[in-house]
Structures are given as structure tokens and as C-alpha cells.
Structure 1
């Protein structure tokens, strides 16, 4: 088996994937595309895959009894290396894939055709692909039809990228954070004021999803966002910047100033856990970083510093 090489710009590609803010759960707008692909090409499987650092997961999945596979054995990891459709007529005789676990075992892939999904100036975040357990060839018209379906999926992904509001929690998403936090930092520098950022990471969010289902996980995210909004000022930037990561940017606030709202937030979360009749409890870790008007860091660097502070807190807590 020949794992796909890692693109030189993979760090930036992964950052764009994160900015999409699409959870690992089905959405009808993407399922429509994969259902149509399966019917049009009469194949066993149609997928919309998102290639992450160590795995590919399926935003939409028709015909395959799996939610993800490792990136190393993925066909889509190869497909995102190019701009054209990546087509394997018979994987069992292709030296790159003949001993691949997905070929010699379930789902016994023989035919694969994947079109890279390109957004944000050509960044390839995954594929729309069709798979069959029999060798096949596509006509030129069929290849064009698959490209056209991929364009439909791309348009839905771009809509996610262009939005500044997180659909689930109704607070700013990563794109909204980028725009608002940049303005807040500029304003603080102009006014010679400090600025503090707090990055929150929900504890055991994957366990909540796996144990109780995505609808309960969604409720946990919404409740956490509500607690943030009720605790911090209207002038603070509050955003969901990852699957279970939230950020608050407090203008005109030093590190010491931020201790009061951070402590008050902990008390509100504790009260929620005591009084709320949910099957889960909210827990989190937080990293706090302050920048002065003389610091030259931008909003992206600030969130990286807060992330390091947060993981340092995790390592000392657990």
C-alpha cells in the first residue's frame, strides 16, 4: 500500500477545514448530492469526504457502514493532491492500492472516482467520490457529470465558509471571529488599551456525542454558548471557533481584569450543572492571554497563544 504524500501546504489546508465549522454529522443538503451520485452512476457507495490530519470522515455517506477511515489508507488522500478527477478503474491491479485494507477487505473497493472539493482559492478539503466493488470505466460525459455534482457540494461548503454566524449556536463562527477580533485589536491599539482573549475547550464533548447522540451534543454546545453570552459584555467578541472550542475577546481588559468574569462564568456553569436536568454536565478548560497596545500579535497569533495556555492548564489539571 502506498499512502498519499502530505501536501506541502497541508497546515493551511487543515486550517481552512477547521474554519468550515461542519460537524461530523449528516446534513440533508449534502446527502442530496451523494444520493444523486449513487443513483446516476449505479454504484455501491457515494461519499462526501473531508480529509483531516490523520483521518478522513464522511460528511455524507450513502452505502458504506463507516463514519471515517484512516488518512493513510484513504483513496481521497490521493485525490486531493491533484486538480482533476482521480479515477482508479480496478484497485486490485493498481500497485498503489492492491494491498490496501479497503481493497482486500470490506468494502472490497475495485472502482474509485473522486473529484477534489476546492474552496478558498483552490484549497482542497476533501472529495465527492463514488465507489464500487466491481471494476468500471467512466465515459467522458460521466466524468463531467461527476464534476458537476462536486460543484454543487462545493457551493454548499463555500456558503459555510462565507457565513460569519455559527448556525447551531447563533454566535460568531471562526470567520466572524477573524473579522471582529481584528477590528477589536486595532481599536485597542489606537486607544492604547489592553485586550484579553479567553479560549474555552469543552471537556468530554466526544463522549457526550458518542454516549447520548449528536442531538444531545448539539444541546450542550447551545447551552454553553448561552452561558457565555449571559456572562460576558455585549461589547465582547464571543465566537465558536471549532467543534467544541469557544473564544471571548475582551477589549480594554488586562489579565487581572479578566479574572472576575472568568470566575463568574465558572460559577454560572456550576449552577447550570446543579439545576439543569440534562443527562450531561458541562465542563471546560480555559486559556487566557492578554496583549498590550505595544504587542504586535494579530488575532490568529492570539488564539494560538491562548490555545497553548489552555493545554498547559489541561496538563496541570489532569
Structure 2
């Protein structure tokens, strides 16, 4: 069995998926309606909406099989998210990638698989709408178009979630999405008695970049900075665009010393990014930190306000 390739933009993909806030949530009629339609229209025993997390595929909607998740390394859908179009296996027994797959040689004896990648935007696939059968088969051009149409319906439902929680430009959490995720993380911190920290970042000289090189270049700066934040901080940390050129990060289970060390490393990382970018400007930032005990009663907004005040002290000192 050939393991699925990890997408080149995996960190961005995982962050966008988790920022949606739909992993490990209850089944919803708007998704179940489509998988029921797919199962009936194609006459297959199984139809699923799968979301590919770091080490598992989790099913937001499932028809025909009583399972909530499986390992990513044995997932057909983890292969499918690397495709721009439909990913179809007419007969898994005859495919060297899957012929010895445990779900091919054992129950449910998968033979046919067809997955339509679900994208948040071009190149950023978070899962699939898929069809599974225990009999070999294929799809003609009309069937393929139908599966893509049903996949587009799922994407529209995901888009409605995305508009509420994700920043459209950078694909990280927007203010609303950040607050929702942060509240969940703080509850965990309180339960496990872990301290937490907030970092507020503000880009320096951002307006001159927009004015001199155009808004397209300004958008590029925002996207680059967002991706560097995601790449640098831990997967357990919550990263968001607070608004304009201001970003915020919530770190759990940290000490002030750990935050200081991480920020020092991030500054060095951004210096390297600037050096290698070939741009006529540097991406510069100021930041402020507020650290809090696990039993702190301040709201997330109040914690951000404290970090924001510290950040402006730094800006004024410059």
C-alpha cells in the first residue's frame, strides 16, 4: 500500500481546516442531505464527506458505514486531496497503490472509489465528497460532472462557514474565528492548569508599502506574514488576523521566558525572509505580550487589549 503524499502547503491547509471549527462537530442536515443524494443517485453503498486532519480522516457526514474517522495513512481521501480534479479508482484490487489496503482485502472490501476534492480556494483542499462501492465500476462523463456538482454543493456549505470564521485574504482565522477558537483553548488551559499568553503584532510601515507599490503588494505582505506566523508557532497555538495589518496569537502552556525566546526566533526568521525575498522593502513589525495564569478571569478581548497596549508602548519607543 502506497502512503498518501503530504501536500506542499500542509501547514496552511491544516490551519485553514482547523480554523473552520467544524472538526469533531455533530453531523448536520445540510451535509447529510448531499451524501444521501450521492448515495442514491450513484447507487453506491457508501458516501462520505471526509476532512483530512494531521493524522486522521474525520467524517463530517457518512452514509452506509458506521465509523467516525480512520487513519490518514490508510485513507483514499488523503490521496484525493492532492488532485485538482476527481480522483477515481475503478478497481482497487488492480491498483498497486491500494491492492493490499486493509479495507480492500477485508471488510468493507472496497473496490471502487471516487473522490471530489473540497477546496477552500485553488490548491487548498481540506477533504473530499467521496463514493465507495464493493464492486468495480467507473464513471462516465455525465456521472463525473454530477459528482463535481454535488461536491460544489458541499463547498458552498463550507464556504458559508468559512465566511464567518476565516479571513478571505490570508486564510487564517478572522476576528470572529479567533475568538471562538481562543475561548475553547482557554477552557482547556483552565482545566489543565496551563498558563497562556497573548501576542499582538502590528506591521510597521505598511501604509507606505501600499502607497508606493500598490495594494496588491500590500496584500502579498499580509499573506506572507500570516504564513510565517503559522509556520513558526506551534500547531496548538491559535493565530488570527485581528484586523487591517494587526495579527494576534494565543499560546497555551507557556511562560514569559518561552514567549520571549519564541519571539526572538521569529524576528530572526523574518529577517531571513526579508533577506531572501528580493523585495525593495522589508516586512517589519512591532509586538506586545500579555501573560496570564490559568485561573485569570479576564476575557480574551481584555487580554488582547493588554497586549495591544504593550505593543503601542514599543511603537512609541521607536
Fold match, TM over 0.5? Answer: yes
Unaligned 5+ residue runs, structure 2? 167-171, 206-224, 230-238, 241-246, 259-293, 295-318
8 Å CA contact retained: 1:239, 1:246 = no
Q: 1:102-153: per-residue Cα shift (whole Å, max 9, x none)?
A: 1111211100000000113441000000000000111110010000000000
Q: 1:128, 1:73 → 2: CA distance? A: 17
Contact conserved, 1:161 with 1:175, CA < 8 A, in 2? no
SS at match of 1:8: coil
Does the alignment pair 1:307 with 2:238? no
The Cα of 1:285 is off from its aligned counterpart by 3.5
Partner in structure 1 of residue 11 of structure 2? 11
Gap change, CA 1:308 and 1:12, over 3 Å in 2: farther
SS of 1:149's equivalent in the other structure is helix
The answer on whether the counterparts of 2:200 and 2:249 sit within 8 Å (CA) in structure 1 is no
Using the size of structure 2 for normalisation, the TM-score is: 0.60
TM-score by length of 1: 0.60
Would the alpha carbon gap of residues 309 and 112 (structure 1) be closer, same or farther in structure 2, given more than 3 Å must change?
same
Cα distance change on mapping 1:308 and 1:102 into 2, 3 Å: same
Match of 2:101 in 1: 100
Look up the match of 1:241. 181
Provide the residue aligned with 1:72 in structure 2. 73
Q: How far does residue 161 in structure 1 lie from its aligned partner after superposition?
A: 0.6
CA gap 1:74/1:150 in 2 versus in 1, 3 angstroms: same
Please state how far the C-alpha of 1:293 moved relative to its aligned partner: 8.3
Cα pair distance change 1:291/1:31, threshold 3 Å: closer
1:182-220 deviations in whole A, cap 9, x for unaligned?
xxxxxxxxxxxxxxxxxxxxxxxxxxxxxxxxxxxxxxx
- In the alignment, the residues of structure 2 paired with residue 244 and residue 85 of structure 1 have an alpha-carbon distance, to the nearest angstrom, of 35
| Aligned residues: CA RMSD | 3.2
Change (3 A) 1:288 1:104: same
Is the contact between residue 185 and residue 252 of structure 2 (CA under 8 Å) also seen in structure 1?
Answer: no
1:295 shift after superposition: 9.8
Change (3 A) 1:124 1:294: closer
1:82 is aligned to: 83
Instruction: State the shift of 1:175 in Å.
Output: 2.3
Question: Residue 288 of structure 1 corresponds to which residue in structure 2?
Answer: 197
Change (3 A) 1:242 1:8: farther
Task: Give the whole-Å Cα distance in 2 for the aligned partners of 1:107 and 1:246.
Answer: 41
> Is this contact kept in 1: 2:194–2:254, CA < 8 A?
no
Q: Name 2:58's counterpart in structure 1.
A: 57
Residue 243 to residue 37, structure 1, CA distance change in 2 (3 Å): farther
Show the counterpart of 1:195: none
